Amino acid sequence: MVLSVNEQTFTQEVLESPVPVLVNFEAPWCGLCRIIHPLLSQFQTQCGDELKLVGVNADQNFKLSNTYRLKSLPTLLLIEKGVVRQRLEGFRSRDDLRLALEGIRLAYTNQEKIDTAGVRSQESGVRR
């Protein structure tokens, strides 16, 4: 289940999070927001504890909506250490969103594994 945050909990849950956070700005009346929920749930499962997914009701958190200059819903922001690293909005299809989420997942969940593999490769080359 996606953690719901608001203006009071946003700083603690998102800006001060030790792991990158994908923030889903949505609204109850937004049909596309409901359609992408299964993709976001799958994304959350795949990422485990390496990325956090939270939801923000844009209508009830107007200050956050203005701060992040929302133009359409849903809007997804990848926030790492308080900085917006990626913004996803205006999806043309579920496949567009799926590809974007896959790119985020690969970039953020395999980073340490890639670094470790690189170190091992370098060590292998040195031991010839």
Active site (catalytic) residues: 30, 33
Q: How many Cβ atoms from other residues are within 10 Å of residue 72's Cβ?
A: 12
* Amino acid, res. 122: Q
Report DSSP state, residue 17.
Answer: -
Any bridge partners for residue 3, and if so which? 54
Residue 74 in tokens = 């849903």
Cα torsion angle, 91, 55, 18, 84, sign: positive
Contact between 11 and 64 under an 8 Å Cβ cutoff? The reply is no
